[in-house]
Amino acid sequence: MKARYLAVLGAAGLCAMASTPITADDQNNHSSECSGLPSHGALKSALEQARNESNGGFNLDMWGTIVNRDGVVCAVAFTGGNRGDQWPGSRVISAQKANTGNAFSLPGLALSTANLYSAVSPGGSLYGLQHSNPVSTQVAYRGNSANYGEANDPMKGGKIGGINIFGGGFALYNRRGEIVGGLGVSGDSSCADHNIGWRTRNNLQLDFVPAGVSGDPNRPDNIVNDITSQVGQQEGTSASGWGHPACGADATAIAAALPVTRKVT
């Protein structure tokens, strides 16, 4: 009986040791890792302002997430009255987009998630990218759901991971032109997500974007609507290789007139 008791204690101890990194990560103070990035309140305000403009979508409420340069979640917010006013699945999608915008942008080149659509499609130059860097489900779904989108969202302080390849994710560049993290928004059509995310970044004044693949020097990482359908191909082909499907004439026109990105002076 004593031997069995000791065996149970030993197994419990091993489980405790195995879970220690997660527990420690939850308890660590990550404020220094998010220094210089917008707070929950700043993100929420910027996201609400952007969501309330005409964006060419369904006029739905949104989720937004900010990660730092290491992919650590720093803030999660929503625009509705409560967490159920936005698509619940879009909380994690917004974090995926933030991670993607950060993870595949550089100090000298920004790629928005909208820029990745054609490149990641079969035959594209980055095909297979979407299968790399999976979401950490432990970070995505841990904690009390009542705190989702609040200042103490359980994703905060964790490395979310994830790859998303449609509109709504961006790299963040400060006024010195330094890449400092990523922003992701989700909750509407992919094109509206792009427009709302773009305006949110602009509202946060973290859009000192150095260069991109859009072909527009004033909007370097803007969505590119250059996919032409071909017989026998459902998606068609992108002339630039960085194209994203158009969601509608309104969204396309709005994207073309989005605020120009800021320049480092």
Of 212, 239, 235, 214, the C-alpha closest to 224 is: 214
CA angle 52, 76, 242 (to 5 degrees): 70
Sign of CA dihedral 147, 153, 159, 160: positive
First to last CA, the chain: 75
Query: Which residues lie closer than 8 Å to 113 by C-beta, 6 or more apart?
Result: 97, 100, 101, 164, 165, 166, 167, 168, 169, 170, 184, 194
The CATH class given to the 35-256 domain equals alpha beta
pLDDT above 80 for 20? no
Return the domain boundaries, the chain.
Answer: 35-256
- Residue-wise pLDDT for 95-113, tens only, equals 999 999 999 999 999 999 9
Half-sphere exposure (Cβ direction) of 146: Cα atoms closer than 13 Å: 0
pLDDT above 50 for 254? yes
- Residue-wise pLDDT for 136-190, tens only, equals 999 999 999 999 999 999 999 999 999 999 999 999 999 999 999 999 999 999 9
The tokens for 230 are 């071909």
pTM score, whole prediction: 0.87
DSSP assigned state of 77 = E
Cβ(167)–Cβ(190) below 8 Å: yes
pLDDT of residue 25: 44
